[in-house]
């Protein structure tokens, strides 16, 4: 039997960690880790908690005997990481109120945490707006950030009193006039998104040459221009795109004021990535200081920044194919996992990601457990002294074998040849059917774009841990 949400409390002997039922899901609380956690830096506490949750879940599953689906892939979400990202945001961009882009990961616990911490929300559909309203968020904290909206959704937003919305073309203005005449409109302008992972400007954004015409039509239709919006593309790597967009936005503000509007808010969109966040924020702060008066409210629509690093995905190896090179006699292996590009690895197709496998446990060492040891170079902190079983046995094996690594390709469970997670991955360890691999950084544009192709599930369980006392307090973990 897989661990179920009905488990009330299960003890982990090392930390006496409790797994509690909460939000109808399993949660591991930082309080439950006792005093040890206070001695450890946050990244290490987080690793240990994630590791314990992974271990507990897979420890309860025996792929050789379990019921269909018990060995399904599952997430461990460290809600403390989302909390840390929020505090980091507030420290680095104090003028900017984040409106979390829920498209990136509409996880209910993430939404609840961010709602309680005072964030707003960027929604792009009726279902997203509904989900946020249902958790008690005031409609004034929602922006319907979709410049080309569905008419029936617009009728819904008008009823729900969600007023903030973006537009970027004349046809949309006529729709707004008809369906949401009281809307607070943000003119979304075009940006240079050439250095971004996911480009959006071929689809959305008014060119600077068309902004005057759009503002004049809004005036003619007696609509309310509340501000200017932009998005430099998801996964932005060039902070000068933000600077140019802020400069352009200022130009549109001035034009709107000249026409008699009173725009009050600038929406600087998403595109933020954790790795470059401090640098981007410092460049942005200078541009905002220079071009945007302090009377103007500033909001943003970050998505991946908040959740990417908070979610770890564990997958089971369901099949293996041995491939022998006839000339050299060398063996490599094709590993088939129970999740792939039609599932949570949809980020490979839609979000240009390259998830990196790491070994969680191998059947041969059934009681051993290997979280974060397989590739220490990627880990923020070594877990060699964390109490989890070391991989020394395998390292000895590797050394005696002349240090030769084994080559694997990694595939998803569907019948489609495109369903490839990694064409080549090398490890010193032997991986076989029933073993578990894990992938970090799986919190953005993964589960939300998973399908049920071939009859596989898109409802993978999430086990929640909290490595921050603040997050635990907010959520009552």
Q: What residues are annotated to the active site?
A: 415
Binding segment for ligand PLP (CB under 6 A), chosen from 50-58, 78-86, 302-310, 313-321, is 302-310
Q: Contacting ligand PLP (CB under 6 A), which of 44, 47, 141, 231? A: 231
187 binds ligand PLP (CB under 6 A): no
Contact flags string 260-279 toward ligand PLP, x per CB under 6 A: ---------xxxx-------
Closer CB to ligand PLP, 272 or 411, in the complex: 272
301 binds ligand PLP (CB under 6 A): yes
Closer CB to ligand PLP, 37 or 149, in the complex: 149
Q: Contacting ligand PLP (CB under 6 A), which of 3, 51, 205, 303? A: 303
Binding segment for ligand PLP (CB under 6 A), chosen from 56-64, 149-157, 231-239, 363-371, is 231-239
Binding segment for ligand PLP (CB under 6 A), chosen from 299-307, 363-371, 406-414, 457-465, is 299-307
- Residue 156 CB, shortest distance to ligand PLP, in Å, is 19
Helix (H, G, I), strand (E, B) or coil at 127: helix
Question: For residues 67 and 37, what is the distance between their CA atoms, to the nearest angstrom?
Answer: 36
Q: Is the dihedral of CA 378, 409, 1, 344 positive or negative?
A: positive
205 binds ligand PLP (CB under 6 A): no
101 binds ligand PLP (CB under 6 A): yes
Strand partners, 167: 187
- Residue 196 CB, shortest distance to ligand PLP, in Å, is 8
Closer CB to ligand PLP, 235 or 434, in the complex: 235
Question: For residues 236 and 259, what is the distance between their CA atoms, to the nearest angstrom?
Answer: 33
Cβ–Cβ under 8 Å, residues 142 and 150: no
Question: For residues 317 and 64, what is the distance between their CA atoms, to the nearest angstrom?
Answer: 12
Contact flags string 127-146 toward ligand PLP, x per CB under 6 A: ------------------x-
Question: For residues 451 and 41, what is the distance between their CA atoms, to the nearest angstrom?
Answer: 38
- Residue 228 CB, shortest distance to ligand PLP, in Å, is 14
DSSP H or E segment with residue 50: helix 42-59
- Residue 271 CB, shortest distance to ligand PLP, in Å, is 5
Cβ–Cβ under 8 Å, residues 98 and 77: no
Ranges assigned E (strand) in 148-231: 164-167, 184-189, 196-198, 224-230
Cβ–Cβ under 8 Å, residues 111 and 101: no
- Residue 243 CB, shortest distance to ligand PLP, in Å, is 17
Largest CA distance in the chain: 80
Going from the C-alpha of 275 to that of each of 85, 100, 279, 304, 444, the distances in angstroms are 12, 18, 9, 11, 14
200 binds ligand PLP (CB under 6 A): yes
Question: For residues 429 and 426, what is the distance between their CA atoms, to the nearest angstrom?
Answer: 9
Residues near ligand PLP, by CB under 6 A: 101, 104, 122, 145, 200, 231, 234-235, 269-272, 301-305
């Amino acid at each position: 039997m897989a661990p179920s949400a009905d488990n009330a409390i299960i003890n982990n002997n090392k930390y006496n960690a409790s797994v509690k039922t909460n939000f109808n899901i399993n949660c591991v609380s930082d309080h439950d880790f006792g005093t040890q956690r206070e001695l450890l830096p946050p990244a290490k506490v987080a690793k240990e908690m994630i590791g314990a949750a992974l271990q507990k879940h897979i420890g309860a599953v025996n792929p050789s005997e379990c019921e269909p689906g018990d060995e399904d892939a599952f997430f461990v979400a460290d809600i403390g990481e989302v909390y840390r990202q929020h505090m980091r945001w507030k420290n680095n961009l104090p003028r900017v109120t984040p409106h979390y882009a829920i498209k990136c990961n509409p996880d209910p616990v993430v939404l609840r945490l961010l709602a309680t911490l005072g964030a707003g929300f960027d929604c792009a559909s009726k279902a997203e707006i509904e989900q946020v309203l249902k958790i008690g968020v005031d409609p004034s904290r929602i922006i319907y950030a979709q410049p080309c909206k569905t008419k029936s959704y617009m009728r819904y937003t008008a009823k729900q009193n969600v007023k903030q919305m973006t537009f970027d073309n004349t046809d949309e203005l006529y729709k707004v006039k008809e369906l949401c005449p009281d809307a607070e409109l943000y003119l979304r302008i075009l940006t240079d998104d050439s250095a971004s992972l996911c480009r959006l400007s071929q689809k959305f954004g008014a060119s600077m040459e068309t902004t005057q015409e759009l503002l004049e039509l809004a005036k003619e239709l007696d609509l309310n221009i509340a501000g200017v919006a932009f998005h430099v593309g998801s996964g932005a790597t060039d902070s000068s795109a933000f600077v140019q967009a802020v400069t352009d936005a200022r130009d549109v503000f001035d034009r709107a004021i000249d026409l008699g509007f009173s725009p009050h808010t600038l929406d600087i969109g998403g595109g933020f990535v954790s790795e470059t966040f401090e640098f981007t924020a410092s460049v942005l702060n200078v541009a905002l200081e220079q071009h945007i008066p302090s009377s103007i409210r500033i909001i943003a629509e970050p998505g991946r920044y908040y959740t990417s690093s908070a979610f770890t995905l564990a997958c089971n190896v369901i099949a293996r194919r041995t491939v022998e090179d006839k000339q050299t006699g060398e063996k490599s292996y094709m590993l088939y996992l129970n999740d792939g590009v039609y599932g949570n690895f949809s980020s490979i197709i839609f979000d240009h990601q390259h998830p990196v496998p790491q070994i969680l446990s191998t059947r041969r060492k059934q009681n051993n457990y290997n979280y974060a040891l397989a590739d220490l170079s990627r880990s923020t902190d070594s877990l060699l002294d964390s109490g989890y079983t070391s991989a020394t046995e395998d390292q000895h094996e590797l050394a005696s074998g002349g240090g030769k690594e084994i080559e694997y390709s990694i595939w998803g469970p569907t019948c489609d040849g495109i369903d490839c997670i990694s064409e080549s991955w090398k490890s010193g360890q032997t991986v076989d059917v029933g073993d578990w691999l894990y992938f970090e950084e799986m919190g953005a544009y993964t589960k939300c774009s998973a399908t049920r192709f071939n009859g596989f599930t898109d409802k993978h369980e999430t086990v929640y841990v909290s490595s921050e006392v603040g997050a635990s307090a907010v959520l009552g973990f």
